[in-house]
Structure 1
Amino acid sequence: VDSEAIDSAGSHTLAECASRAELEEATLFFFVVQFCFFLFLGLMVNRLRVVFAPLMVVLASSCFGPRLFAWGRHNPLWLLLLAMLHVGHLVYVAQLLPCAGIKEGVCTQVADKKSNDGDQVDLIDWMNRRLPPSLPLLASMNVAGTLRAFTASPMIVHPQFESETLRSRVQRAYEMYHCGTEESFSQTMQQLHAKVVVFEYHRCFFTPYILDDRRKNCMSGKHKPEDQLCLKLHLSPRFKQVFMNGAYGVFDL
């Protein structure tokens, strides 16, 4: 009886171990497939590269699990390889620490930072005091996200969610940073129901963001910097400048 009980317990233990092994293999396979999928998305869309970082950490830690590469835990060559990789990584990190230059190593974290936060606060304060709360406003995705949080003005485009109609509005709205005509931009604002446009002066350059309507794109061989809407609207009779500071310009249609 005792022998049968022992055999039964042993069989039960083996079955349980096999079940755990299958579950672990299925879990690892799931992580590998997810990692490959999100890696592909990251290669296609720059902003999605952070998505597969947690999966990368999980897969890296699984190398030290009880089953995966278990043969190497007692293999001196495998342990030596891991030690060499660890030391190599430490050497690489150590080379980043010295302040070899203002824009190198850890100095990039402690160097003086320049920002336009003061100008942005100035813009927000002016908008809250001078603009009607229901006045639709056109700005870049970056600025619109902040203005949407601190003002009551409805934004034509904003980065809070993704949709096909929003992408279409962005394509039309970003004519503001290209070299289209003032008449064309005026029509675009009317189509988007925008009454006011906010320009960021630090973005007033030949942007790599290409519009589908190539007639409005800035081309370095064809256009001059003064052909950009963010500059020539200052002299346009169609638009009236209602606010300006060191970082932003606001024009009323």
Structure 2
Amino acid sequence: MRRGDSVPAESLPAIITSAATPTPSVPSVSTPLSSATTNLKRKRDRERDRDRDRRPSLSASPAPQPVTASTESAMTSIPSPMPLLPRGGTPMSREATGKARKEQYYDQLPLQPGRKVAFKVPNKGKDKAEDETGEEAWILATIRKCINQDKMRYEVQDADDANTSWNTTLRSIIPLPDPSAPPSSSANPSNLEDYPKGTQVLGLYPETTSFYRATVVAPPLPGTGHGLGVRFGSRLEQGAGSEKGHYLLLFVDDDDKMSVVHKDLVLLAPGTTYP
């Protein structure tokens, strides 16, 4: 479902409900999503979304928390968004080219059926690639198949609707971490880094299947995130609000409320790098 929609907690995907437990375990990326959340509206009503008193309380995912005195100081200390530059210092486009994506995920290709991904909805008709604020619309989806054995072309299925799918290319896909991948694979969480405070990311908004841009307020507690932790010796800088296996995120246009999101559902925002 998208921001503002709600379903019974028992029908939510396992990859999302895992965030409700005190000590979350890594969600199984290979587990198929439930088809019970079909035929839901894609358009989001942001004013209704932010009215938490009108939305039913669900236990499937931690709800955004209001800013308190302890968290306000953490927000004000967030570094300015990092420039859209690759590590070499050469300006890059907002979206990675197909060639760049192929090089980045070379040892994961072709993506296998059932793999969970963030998918940028095509800019066609009712399924526009941008929401009402002009942001790119990224949703949770599943790989159905590789098209004609071409590592760049795939059919993906909407996590909200088993009857909705698209033919797309790797350019519009960001694979999620895969705990079932071989230990040597770049998809395995043991080979991934955590994003430090201030990084611009895409995070799965609580109780939805939509990704939104956000700023990292705090990475997971050291030793509970991905295998490589945070770069540059920042591993011990847990930051205010850090939690086991979860990020504390400040989503754009969300009334300065912070949300807790599982580490496997947070991705580097397209066109952004981190130190």
Fold similarity call, TM over 0.5: no
Instruction: Name the structure with the higher strand share.
Output: 2
Structure number with larger C-alpha Rg: 1
Structure scoring higher RCO (CA < 8 A, sep ≥ 6) equals 2
Give TM-score, length-normalised by structure 2.
0.24
Give TM-score, length-normalised by structure 1.
0.26
